[in-house]
Amino acid sequence: MNTDFESFPKMARFSREVIITEKIDGTNAQILIVPAKDCPYDASNPPVVAGDLMDPAAVNIYAGSRTRWLQPGKVTDNYHFAEWVSENAEDLKKLGPGRHFGEWWGAGIQRRYAQTGKHFSLFNAGRWHPSVIGAVYEVVEGAWRDGPNCCGVVPTIYKGEFTGSCVYSACDFLRSVGSVAAPGFMDPEGIIVYHTAGKVGFKKTLKNDEKAKSEIV
């Protein structure tokens, strides 16, 4: 047994802010943007868009699924996400350097949401809608902060103090109005509850929440 001293980890206070967003049933995706000068081209793991190494402002852009990097035109491209990233690269540069996670959803993907096209919705609502203040049963309104026109943010249903009732009320809200991401679609998947002090997220589905995903037929 390791005898190195370890202190007991600090705990976040329960009664702090949570951000509750709609859980969209699509496929997990990510966009990584790095300065080209800091990430030389690697033929074994090429970016979707490679920037000029001699240009200090140039960036490399990578597109990924939950488990791997993707390339446009390949059969392994996750519902053509890398192709979409390549086509919208100039607009996506507005996201800035960093790793940007989101849901790739819509036509032909999982629940489909009665969409004719595909959409990319970023998960980090706290960053892109930083000043919104909402209440349960009201969809939080907030300006899209200087982001790309080609994508959006998962809808925020509630932002405020964490209570047990806010979680169940957010679920009841979706059951009554349907999806906020796709208005008129009455079979939304559920919610994501992100505790900002604890820096941890939880998911809750509207159906079969008590079952593991592998148990759902």
For the chain (217 residues), the mean pLDDT of every run of 10, in chain order, is 87 92 97 88 83 85 95 93 97 95 98 97 86 54 75 91 90 95 96 95 93 63
Going by their DSSP bridges, the two strands 200-205 and 190-195 should be labelled as antiparallel
Going by their DSSP bridges, the two strands 152-153 and 118-122 should be labelled as parallel
pLDDT of amino acid 53: 78
Question: Which residues, other chains included, contact 164 with Cβ-Cβ below 8 Å and sequence gap of 6+?
Answer: none
pLDDT of amino acid 213: 65
Q: Look up the CATH number of domain 17-207.
A: 3.30.470
